[in-house]
Structure formats: C-alpha cells, structure tokens
Amino acid sequence: MFWKNLKRYKLVKKRLHFSLLIIAIVLLDQTTKLIATSYLPYSQTIQILPSFNFFLIFNAGAAFSILDDGFFWQRLLLIGVPFAALFFFFHLIFLSDQSNYFKISICFITGGAIGNLIDRVFSGYVVDFIDLYVTIYHWPTFNIADAFITIGASVLVIVELRSYFREIMKEKK
C-alpha cells in the first residue's frame, strides 16, 4: 500500500511540475506581450542592442505571417489545429512513458502554443515584437511563445535523434 501511494505521489508531483512549467511559459509570454502592447509604438523600430530591436506588429497569419489574408476557413484552421494539437501534447506529457527531456520539450511547445492561441482567440492576431538581425538579414519578428516553440522543437529533434542513434548502436552490438 505504501509503495503504491508513493508511486502515485511521485506521478502527481511530476505532472504538477510539467503543468507549472506550461503555466509559467504562458504567463511569461502573455506578460511580455502585454508590456509590448502597452509601451511599444506600433510598427516602429526601437533598437535595444546591435542586432536586437523591438518592433511591435500584429500577426493575423501563422508563423512568419503565412495565411495572413484573412479568409474564414484559414482563421478556423489557425485556431482549430492548435486546439487539436494541444490534446495530443497533453497526452504525450501526462500519459506517455517518454523521457523527461522529451516531455519538457513538449511542455515548451505546448506553453508557446497556448500563449499564441490565447492571442488568436481573443484578439484575432498574435502579438510579435522581437526583431533579431545580422546586417541586413532579419529573422521574422517573433515573441516569447515562438521562442519556446522553437527551442522545444529543437530539443525534441535532438532527443529523438539521440534515441534513434542509441537504438542503432544497440542493434550493432
């Protein structure tokens, strides 16, 4: 009985940590967007450091303004697909037996997706304000949610490649 309760406690604790990570990402994203919309002028460059500007824009499309022409079915797609993906992500985080690195990367993606989905549902657009560049080459303007999605996806690729190569090495032995 004790061991069963201990195992259940550890599982609940781990799930709570993953949930808190997602909530922290969403709060950080929404707070930075609120500050950006409150204090930054729209569509005007404010240089912070060399190669780093703040540049407030409202992105009605998908990543990098794809699907930005405003058709209803595209809006539905931009809201419906992330909602469906969230159910899949929550399954991966809370019900799968994947590694913690895998689950943390999915938490990053999920937190970022929720942050952008909140914008899209309540405003019809996503607030972007971070502008990185090298000389004349600009990365598309993005936000904290986009950064977490990108980091999460990158870590996920590394985790999966590592797992793949470990399996290959096991097969060779």
**Residues catalogued as catalytic:** 128, 146
Nearest C-alpha neighbor of 92 from the set 110, 115, 77: 110
Q: How far apart are CA 164 and CA 53, in angstroms?
A: 39
| Radius of gyration of the CA atoms of the chain, in A | 19
Burial zone of 54 (CB within 10 Å; 0-12 exposed, 13-18 middle, 19+ buried):
middle
Nearest to 118 by CA among 87, 150, 91, 145: 145
> Would you say 112 and 152 are in contact if contact means Cβ atoms under 8 Å apart?
yes
Q: Is 40 left (phi over 0), alpha (psi -120 to 50) or beta?
A: beta
Rounded Cα gap, residues 41 and 49, in angstroms: 18
